Structures are given as structure tokens and as C-alpha cells.
């Protein structure tokens, strides 16, 4: 004879369990069952713990919430290169989807990371760069794989970052800028190079902001719209020009592109890139601009107009100075502040999100400090009072 539903053991157990849940609540019941070794919930899927290094790399580069997807194109290029290098060290080719089934958790150990950095980072600067990348990589792909404690241990041991010695921005003096501008007029594509330098020093732009088009330039109002740093979909913002930069820009565009106004539609003309080596179809690359600027700086160093070594009083020795396209940005900022321009206005002109980034430029040249102290109200008093000493004092 078949059991009635009410008499079936499964129904009876179900009814009693439901009564206990109603009386004590699910949390308390699970807690009590757990204390005697009985779990109601299934263990977490271990799939994430078996993630391969290739899968981790693909997740980092493709997941919409990854840090990689939320940085500028230039930073993406750097991150991808670092990802490729890290995977290649462990025999994984991310470009051809070739994996040796290396598990991600196997390579994210202090010893493996230290071995990697020792092998590929020959200078402290390179080690810092690669360690900073690995911190970002781990934070993006290994939060479900490693405990917070283990991630902190990796950051403190293998990926430790010493604070570098603070170095003031290296800028050009007014005389050096004048020399470099004149030097650019002797180069191939002289007018273009001359205008690039005027744009750098007369706006404070970054090199990757020089990829603007004719339609982005308003010489009447003195500004250029450029793509802002820090976002994947980079909105255009205004960069204002000094009178010298406006004059150079107006002459260059007229001389280079005015003959195309009659043969191109208005939108086609406005879409031409201002700085180009193929008649405006494509922008001049960052590398080409940096190479041109580097050549001018090297010539100025050879001619003793620029010194590439300065005395560091803290270290008690000479240190090498690295000038670059960014030095024009430093120059723009430093001289703006020296002239008395409000630091918050300088922040807006440079496009800094934080005032802390602009405060770095409060470090002036030694000679600028001397000029400032010479203007102190006591300076003339001291001169008058010490005349009796004679000679130079």
C-alpha cells in the first residue's frame, strides 16, 4: 500500500524544517548547522581559482569594468605592452592566444614577481613602472582569486615602490626658448616645426594634445580645442594661446592650407590636421614631434646653450637633466606663476584636475630665487648700509 503524502518521510522532514526556519530564521539555522559541520549552501565555484594567465590577461584587456578600459589611449598602449611582456616571460603569447595552461595564481607569488622584475627591469625607473603596472593588473583581475592580505603582501614585498627623490620640473630659460625657436627655423619643415614649438610654449599643451584640426583653432579668440587627458572618450577642451602663438598659428595655417579652401568642402577643410606630414590627412605622431624636439635640444646642448647636468646640493653631485617636449609645458607654467598669475588660473590653463599637480611648478630656477630676493625691501637698505665695506659685497 502506497504511503499517503502526509506520511511520506520527505514531506514530514520538509514540514519540520519549514517550521524551524519560521521559528528561528534562516541565518540562525545555517549558523547552527554550520557549527556541527552541515552546510546548506554549496561551496563557491572554483572556476575563478583555475583562471589561466592568458584568461587573466584577456580579462584585463577586454572586460568593460577593467582599469584598462577607463584610461587614455596612450596609457592603454603602455598597459598592453606591459601585459604582453609579463605573459611572454611565463611562456604565454596574448597576441596568438597561445597558453601553456599557466595558472594565474601560480605566477602571482612574491618570488615569481621578484624574479620577473629582476630579469626585465634593469633600472630603478623601469622597475617602478613595471611594479606599478602589476599592482594595477592584480587589482583588476585577482580580487576574487587572492585575499586582501595576500595582495597587500605582494604590494609590500615584490611590488614595493620607494618614493623617488622629489625633482623640480626642468624648464627652459627664456634665452634657451628663444634659441630653440630660432634653431627650428633651420630644420626641414621649418615653418611647421617653428609653429609646433610656439604652440607648446605658448599654450602649455602636452605633446598628445597637438593632434588638433583646423576647425579646432580659433585665432580670433585665441584658443584651440584639444582632446583632454584621462578619459577613453576624451572630450575636447580649450587651450588658450599667447599672442606669439596666435600669430605663428595664423600665419602657418594660412601659408600651408589656404590654397585648399577653394577645392575642399568646408567640413573637409576644417577636418584637416594642422600638424601633419601628408597634407593634413593624418596628424603628426607623438614620436615624430618628440624626435624633432630632441634633435633641437641635443644641438643646443652641443653648443653649450643648454646644460644637461646640474649640481644637486642634496646629493652633493652633478645629476643628468632630461629635457623633452614636456619642458615647454614646465616653462609655460613656471613663468606664468613667476609673473604673478593666480595658481588656480594656471591650473585651468594646463588642464590639471587637481591643484596639487600645479603646485609642483612652484619650484623655480635658482636664478629666479635670486632675482626675487634682490627685490626684497631690505635689499636696498643692505646695499646702502654696507657701502663702507668697499668692493663687492
Half-sphere exposure of 379 (CA within 13 A, CB side): 8
59-63, 124-128, 245-249: range with highest mean pLDDT: 245-249
The cell for 343 is 595658481
pLDDT class of 10 with cuts at 50, 70, 90: low
Is residue 337 within 8 Å of 361, Cβ to Cβ?
A: yes
What span, in angstroms and rounded, lies between the C-alpha atoms of 325 and 199?
Answer: 11
Beta bridge mates, 225: 238
pLDDT, one tens digit per residue, over 315-356 is 555 677 888 999 999 899 888 888 888 888 888 888 888 888
Is residue 112 within 8 Å of 106, Cβ to Cβ?
A: yes
pLDDT at residue 164, as a whole number? 55
Measured in degrees and rounded to the nearest 5, phi and psi for residue 2 equal: -70, 145
Exposure letters 160-195 (e unless 16+ CB within 10 A, then b): eeeeeeeeebbbbeeebbebbbebbeeeeeeebbbb
Give the Cβ contact number of residue 112 at 10 Å. Answer: 14
pLDDT at residue 290, as a whole number? 94
pLDDT class of 46 with cuts at 50, 70, 90: very low
pLDDT class of 254 with cuts at 50, 70, 90: very high
Share of the chain above pLDDT 90, in %: 33
What span, in angstroms and rounded, lies between the C-alpha atoms of 190 and 188?
Answer: 5
pLDDT class of 47 with cuts at 50, 70, 90: very low
pLDDT at residue 64, as a whole number? 79
> In sequence order, which residues have a C-beta less than 8 Å from that of residue 209 and are 6 or more positions away?
226, 227, 229, 239
Is residue 384 scored above 70 in pLDDT?
Answer: no
Is residue 49 scored above 90 in pLDDT?
Answer: no
- Give the dihedral sign, CA 351/353/354/357: negative
pLDDT at residue 294, as a whole number? 94
pLDDT, one tens digit per residue, over 274-328 is 999 999 999 999 999 999 999 999 999 999 999 887 655 555 556 778 889 999 9
For residues 197-202, average pLDDT: 94
pLDDT, one tens digit per residue, over 115-150 is 998 888 878 778 888 888 888 888 888 877 777 878
For residues 190-194, average pLDDT: 95
What span, in angstroms and rounded, lies between the C-alpha atoms of 63 and 51?
Answer: 15
Share of the chain above pLDDT 70, in %: 75
Nearest alpha-carbon partner for 280 in 254, 255, 257: 257
Is residue 320 within 8 Å of 167, Cβ to Cβ?
A: no
The cell for 86 is 609579463
CATH code of the domain made up of 165-375: 1.10.443.10
Is residue 57 scored above 60 in pLDDT?
Answer: yes
Question: What pTM did the predictor assign?
Answer: 0.57
Amino acid at each position: 500500500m502506497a504511503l499517503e503524502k502526509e506520511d511520506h518521510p520527505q514531506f514530514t522532514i520538509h514540514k519540520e524544517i519549514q517550521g524551524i526556519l519560521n521559528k528561528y530564521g534562516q541565518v540562525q539555522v545555517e549558523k547552527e548547522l554550520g557549527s556541527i559541520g552541515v552546510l546548506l549552501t554549496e561551496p563557491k565555484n572554483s572556476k575563478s581559482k583555475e583562471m589561466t594567465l592568458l584568461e587573466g590577461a584577456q580579462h584585463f584587456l577586454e572586460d568593460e569594468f577593467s582599469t584598462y578600459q577607463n584610461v587614455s589611449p596612450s596609457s592603454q598602449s603602455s598597459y598592453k605592452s606591459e601585459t604582453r611582456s609579463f605573459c611572454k616571460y611565463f611562456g604565454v603569447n596574448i597576441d596568438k592566444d597561445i597558453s601553456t595552461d599557466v595558472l594565474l595564481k601560480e605566477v602571482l607569488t612574491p618570488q615569481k614577481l621578484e624574479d620577473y622584475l629582476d630579469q626585465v627591469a634593469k633600472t630603478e625607473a623601469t622597475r617602478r613602472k613595471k611594479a606599478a603596472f602589476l599592482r594595477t593588473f592584480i587589482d583588476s583581475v585577482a580580487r576574487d582569486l587572492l585575499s586582501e592580505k595576500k595582495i597587500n603582501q605582494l604590494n609590500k614585498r615584490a611590488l614595493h615602490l620607494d618614493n623617488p627623490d622629489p625633482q623640480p620640473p626642468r624648464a627652459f630659460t627664456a634665452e634657451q626658448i628663444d634659441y630653440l625657436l630660432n634653431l627650428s627655423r633651420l630644420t626641414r619643415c621649418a615653418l611647421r616645426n617653428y609653429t609646433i614649438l610656439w604652440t607648446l610654449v605658448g599654450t602649455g599643451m602636452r605633446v598628445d594634445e597637438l593632434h588638433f584640426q583646423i576647425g579646432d583653432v580659433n585665432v580670433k579668440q585665441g584658443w584651440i580645442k584639444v582632446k583632454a587627458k584621462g578619459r577613453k572618450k576624451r572630450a575636447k577642451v580649450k587651450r588658450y594661446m599667447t599672442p606669439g602663438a596666435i600669430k605663428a598659428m595664423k600665419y602657418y595655417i594660412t601659408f600651408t592650407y589656404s590654397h585648399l579652401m577653394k577645392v575642399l568642402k568646408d567640413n573637409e577643410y576644417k577636418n584637416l590636421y594642422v600638424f601633419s606630414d601628408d597634407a593634413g590627412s593624418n596628424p603628426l605622431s607623438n614620436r615624430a614631434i618628440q624626435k624633432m624636439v630632441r634633435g633641437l635640444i641635443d644641438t643646443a646642448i652641443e653648443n653649450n646653450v643648454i646644460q644637461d647636468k646640474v649640481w644637486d646640493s642634496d646629493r652633493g653631485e652633478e645629476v643628468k637633466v632630461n629635457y623633452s617636449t614636456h619642458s615647454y609645458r614646465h616653462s609655460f607654467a613656471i613663468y606664468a606663476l613667476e609673473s604673478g598669475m593666480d595658481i588656480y588660473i594656471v591650473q585651468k590653463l594646463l588642464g590639471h584636475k587637481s591643484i596639487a599637480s600645479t603646485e609642483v611648478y612652484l619650484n623655480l630656477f635658482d636664478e629666479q630665487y635670486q632675482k626675487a630676493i634682490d627685490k626684497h625691501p631690505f635689499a636696498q637698505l643692505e646695499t646702502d648700509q654696507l657701502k663702507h665695506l668697499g668692493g663687492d659685497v
